[in-house]
Amino acid sequence: MLEKRSVGAGASGGFVGALMPHHTERWNAKKQMQFEALAELSDVIGELEADTGMTCGYRRCGRLVPLLHEQTREIVSRRIEGAREFWGGQFTMELVEPGDLARVSRWLDPAAAPHGAQWDDLSARVNPRRYVEALACHVRAHGEIREGVEVVRLEPENRSVVLADGRRLSAGEICVAAGFEAYPLLQPFMDAMNDGKVIGRGVKGQAVLLSHQHDDSEPILYESGAYVVPHEGNFVAVGSTSHDHDGGAPDAFDPGDMGFYHKALTLAPCLAPAQITGRWANVRPRNMLKGTGSEPYFGAVPGHDGLSARIGGFKIGVGVGGSVKFCS
C-alpha cells in the first residue's frame, strides 16, 4: 500500500465517526449495500480488534433525529414501515413522543424536538483514528505500507504506477483508494463511463472535539447536517460543514465557520460549557458518477484490466469503506 502522506492523513482520519443509515424511502442498491455494511460492522470490527489487539471505540449507540414540524411525523411513519421491510427484522426505528424523549436521551433539549424524534438502533459510532490505526496494523501484518510515497500516474496497460520521484513500480493489480485525489489519477481511464467529465469533487468539512464527562450511554443526535456524536473517554465529536474544496490546504480549519457547532448546542445545551479540545478539517470525496451519483465506488474500472478503485461514499465513507477494506 502506497500512501502519499501518512496513514489517516485523509478524510478517514478525523474524529466524528457517525455510522448512520440512509433514510428508508426509495430503497435502492446503494442503501442496501450501506445497510449490509453497517449491519456487519460490529462483527467486522470485533474480528479486527481480535486480530490486532487494538480497540476501535465502536458502539451501536443509536440515533435520535428531532422533529421540528408536525408533517415530518407522517414521513417518519413511512420510514418506520421501510425499516420493517428493509432492515431484516434485526433493527428498529420508532417515533418517540415529545413527552418520552428523556427515555432515549438526557442531552437532547425537548424544546429542540417539539414534535418528538425519530429513533433507530442501527446507527453506531466508531473512533475513526483508532479504527484506521487498527486497519493499518492489520495491513502491516499481512503486507506492507510505504508512507510518503506518492503515485502520480497509473499505467494499467503495463501493470505499473509511476511515483513522484520518477520511479516505476509494478503491480499485479492496481487499486486506487486515494479519496478525492483519486479523481485526477483516474480521469484518463473513466471517459467511457462519464463522457470525459471529472468523476467527482472534493467537499471540505470541519468538526470539533469536546471534552465532556459522560457515561457513554447517549445516542447520536443529528439535525440538518449538525451531528453530536458521543465517544468513549469523555469526548464528544461535533460536526460538520460542507463546502466545495477550493484547492487550499485540506486540513486548514476555519474558526469563522462554526455554525454547525452552535446548531449542535441548540440540540444539546448541556454541552455549552464543554471545552473544545480538538479542531479538524479535511476533504471528503464526493463521487459524481454517471448513473450512480455520489455512492461509494468499489470495483473495476471498465475497459482497463488490472485497475480498480475504492472511493468512499459522500459522508458515509467510514462505515462502508472500513467494512469493505477489511473484508477484501
Ligand X SMILES: Cc1cc2nc3c(=O)[nH]c(=O)nc-3n(C[C@H](O)[C@H](O)[C@H](O)COP(=O)(O)OP(=O)(O)OC[C@H]3O[C@@H](n4cnc5c(N)ncnc54)[C@H](O)[C@@H]3O)c2cc1C
Residues lying near ligand X in the complex (CB under 6 A): 2-5, 9-12, 14, 16-19, 150-151, 177-179, 181, 185, 205-207, 239-240, 282, 284-285, 311-312, 315-319, 321
The residues, any chain, with a CB within 8 Å of residue 104's CB and separated by 6 or more, are 62, 64, 96, 117, 119, 219
Say if CB 116 and CB 96 are below 8 A apart: yes
From CA 183, how far away is CA 171, in angstroms rounded? 20
From CA 155, how far away is CA 167, in angstroms rounded? 13
Sign of CA dihedral 93, 99, 103, 105: positive
Min separation Cβ 10 and ligand X, Å: 2
Q: Which is nearer to ligand X, 14 or 219 (CB)?
A: 14
Min separation Cβ 195 and ligand X, Å: 23
Min separation Cβ 58 and ligand X, Å: 13
Q: Which is nearer to ligand X, 85 or 257 (CB)?
A: 257
Q: Which is nearer to ligand X, 21 or 116 (CB)?
A: 21
Min separation Cβ 22 and ligand X, Å: 11
How many angstroms separate the first and last alpha carbons of the chain?
14
Q: Which is nearer to ligand X, 129 or 212 (CB)?
A: 129
* String of DSSP letters for 145-200: -EET--EEEEEGGGTEEEETTS-EEE-SSEEE--GGGHHHHHGGG-HHHHTT---E
Amino acid at 90: Q
Q: Which is nearer to ligand X, 10 or 66 (CB)?
A: 10
Q: Which is nearer to ligand X, 44 or 80 (CB)?
A: 44
Min separation Cβ 101 and ligand X, Å: 23
Min separation Cβ 73 and ligand X, Å: 26
Q: What is the CA radius of gyration of the chain?
A: 20
Q: Which residue is nearest to ligand X (CB)?
A: 317
